[in-house]
Amino acid sequence: MSFTEITPYDGQLPSSDDLASFDGRAAALMSWLVANFAPEIAALAVEIAGALNGEEDTLAAVQALADGLGGAAAYSVSGDPDFAVSGEMFAVRSVIAAYIEAFRDATALGWGQEPKDMTAERLTNTVYHNTTGHPIWLSIEHASDFCQIDASKDGASFNKIARDGSSQTSTIYAIIPDDWRYKFWGAAIYKWTELRS
Domains and CATH numbers, the chain: 8-107 (no CATH), 114-196 (2.60.120)
pLDDT confidence of residue 194: 96
Whether the Cβ atoms of residue 186 and residue 145 lie closer than 8 Å to each other:
yes
Supply the DSSP string of the chain, one letter for each residue. -------GGGGPPP-TT-HHHHHHHHHHHHHHHHHHHHHHHHHHHHHHHHHH-S-HHHHHHHHHHHHHHHHHHT---TT-TT-PPPHHHHHHHHHHHHHHHHHHHHH-TTTT-EEEE-GGG--TT--EE--SSS-EEEEEEE-SS-EEEEEESSSSS-EEEEEE--SS-EEEEEEE-TT-EEEEESSPEEEEEEEE-
Q: What is the model's pLDDT at position 31?
A: 66
Identify the pLDDT of residue 5.
46
pLDDT digits (tens, 9 = 90+) for 81-92: 544 555 555 566
Q: Is residue 67 within 8 Å of residue 99, measured between CB atoms?
A: no
pLDDT in tens, 19-57: 676 677 666 666 666 666 666 666 666 666 666 655 555
Q: Tell whether the model's pLDDT for residue 60 goes beyond 70.
A: no
Query: How many C-beta neighbours within 10 Å does residue 106 have?
Result: 17
Confidence tier at 4 by pLDDT (50, 70, 90): very low
